[in-house]
Amino acid sequence: MGELKLMKGNEAIAEAAIRAGVDAYFGYPITPQSEVIEYLTYEKPEERTGMVVLQAESELAAINMVYGAASTGKKVLTSSSSPGISLYQEGISYIAGAELPCVIANVVRGGPGLGTIQPSQADYFQSVKGGGHGDYRLLTLAPSSVQEMADFVELGFEIAFKYRNPVMILTDGMIGQMMEKVELKDPVPRWTDEQIQEISGSWATVGKPANRERNIVTSLYLDSAIMEQHNHHLQAKYRQMEAEEVRYETFDTEDAEYLMVAYGSSARIAQKSLTLARAKGIKVGLLRPITLYPFPAKPLLDLVPQLKGILSVEMSAGQMIEDVRLSVECKVPVVHFGRFGGIIHSPEEVLEALEQKIIGG
């Protein structure tokens, strides 16, 4: 059993990164995620593991520092919050285009614009549908506890390197700021230069030895035929992710006639709504997508024959609901519920929505 600690979600990301042998963190302060870089600078990971931590002059610089270090096969982490992630989008598009592994945490706050510093889930589209320019996808993980904030750092790097693709940890100000018990894994050492050579030597730019062609990290393909070919290659990778990386969990779905679909903070709240509903004799279940891309479309579709209706619960005006609807192929009614603009819905509000919009609707 690993070390038990009471930590904020943001701190858990930072501590997990040091323990996962992450090589570098580049970031820029923004509420509600500044604890990530504060924790890292306080902890002196350069002494603990040799991990590099640098506060950049802007989000533009931070994501491009990530791009540079990731180009050399290093494990690189960054974090920001919604307006900062908007600034990251150019770099994320380049990272996806150049097929570089990295992990990006978005501790979402309410928007649009400067918005609010309170929690929100309104960056779903930005994370799951691409965000920047071009046809690309981010593997998107949605933690719903401080424990998962820590666990998904390691998992994120595992799948980021498996696919040479950026991974987004999509969380929000609620989980980032709240304190919870977390079991921390034993530290693993950072990769040696030899391990980097073995794992990423075929593409990483670490200096050209005489016995191989030069490695080039680029997303530029001026020849349209080659550009199309590159896009086909990326799409094939995304199809593989859809086949192999779907993660989700279900609660009380065996006899469920109704279903709530919720991720992250909303899934925590929906669990309480589930208990309240079951106490009233309502046969409702919950499906929590853990990966938002790839979305658990098939598990959702498989539940459809037993369902009379689905409530899609998210702290936004309705973004994930589009994927829920696509998944169930219009075979069952899907209705959205969620507070937004920084307001967190209560379990009772969710239950009321379930009773009025789905059961009574």
Partner 1 sequence: MDIKDIIKEENLVYSKTKLMTDNVLSYCPGCGHGTAHRIVMEIIDEMGLQSNTIGIAPVGCSVLAYDFMNIDMIQAAHGRAPAVATGVKRTWPDKTVFTYQGDGDLAAIGTAETIHACNRGENITIIFINNGIYGMTGGQMAPTTLEGMKTSTSPHGRDLKKMGNPLKITELIAQLPGTYYVSRQAVHTPAAVRKAKKAIRKAFEIQQENKGLTFVEVVSNCNSGWKLPPVKSNQWMVENMFPFYQLGDIKVDGELVK
Binding site for partner 1 (CB under 8 A): 23-24, 26, 52, 54, 56-58, 60-62, 64-72, 74, 76, 90-91, 94, 98, 205-210, 214-220, 222
- Nearer to partner 1 (CB atom), residue 55 or residue 250: 55
- Nearer to partner 1 (CB atom), residue 60 or residue 326: 60
238 within 8 A of 137, measured Cβ to Cβ: yes
Least distance in angstroms from the C-beta of 56 to partner 1: 7
- Look at residues 241, 228, 225, 49 and name the one whose alpha carbon lies nearest to residue 164: 241
Least distance in angstroms from the C-beta of 57 to partner 1: 4
Length of the chain: 361
Least distance in angstroms from the C-beta of 71 to partner 1: 5
E-assigned strand segments in 33-143: 52-55, 76-80, 102-108, 139-141
Cβ within 8 Å of residue 244, ≥6 positions away: none
- Nearer to partner 1 (CB atom), residue 3 or residue 198: 198
| Angle subtended at Cα 18 by Cα 13 and Cα 19, rounded to the nearest 5 degrees | 95
- Look at residues 173, 204, 149 and name the one whose alpha carbon lies nearest to residue 23: 204
- Nearer to partner 1 (CB atom), residue 32 or residue 97: 97
CA 111 – CA 31 distance, rounded (Å): 13
- Nearer to partner 1 (CB atom), residue 60 or residue 343: 60
Least distance in angstroms from the C-beta of 91 to partner 1: 6
Long-range contacts of 161-165 (CB under 8 A, 24+ apart): 161/75, 161/101, 161/199, 161/200, 163/101, 163/139, 163/237, 163/240, 163/241, 164/99, 164/100, 164/101, 164/203, 165/96, 165/99, 165/101, 165/137, 165/138, 165/139, 165/237, 165/241
- Nearer to partner 1 (CB atom), residue 28 or residue 124: 28
- Nearer to partner 1 (CB atom), residue 217 or residue 284: 217
Cβ within 8 Å of residue 22, ≥6 positions away: 51, 75, 76, 77, 153, 157, 190
Category of 117 on φ-ψ map: left (φ > 0), alpha (ψ -120 to 50) or beta: alpha
Least distance in angstroms from the C-beta of 65 to partner 1: 4
Least distance in angstroms from the C-beta of 100 to partner 1: 10
Least distance in angstroms from the C-beta of 16 to partner 1: 19
Least distance in angstroms from the C-beta of 134 to partner 1: 13
| Angle subtended at Cα 12 by Cα 10 and Cα 15, rounded to the nearest 5 degrees | 115
- Nearer to partner 1 (CB atom), residue 105 or residue 267: 105
CA 70 – CA 90 distance, rounded (Å): 15
